[in-house]
Amino acid sequence: MNCRLLLQKAKRATISDILETSLSLDEDQITLTRQFRCNAETTMRSAPSQCDEDDIVSSYVRIVVTDTYDPVWTDFGVGAPIALNVERTVQVS
Is residue 2's pLDDT more than 70? Answer: no
Contact criterion met (CB below 8 Å) for 59 and 36: yes
Bridge partners of 88, per DSSP, are: 63
Residues 22-52: tens digit of each pLDDT = 999 999 999 999 999 999 999 999 999 999 9
C-alpha–C-alpha distance, residues 45 and 36, integer Å: 5
Bridging pattern class, strands 57-69 and 82-91: antiparallel
Local confidence band at 62 (pLDDT 50, 70, 90 cut-offs): very high
Q: State the average pLDDT over residues 71-85.
A: 92
pLDDT of residue 28: 92
CA 75 to chain centre: 32
pLDDT of residue 7: 59
C-alpha–C-alpha distance, residues 11 and 5, integer Å: 10
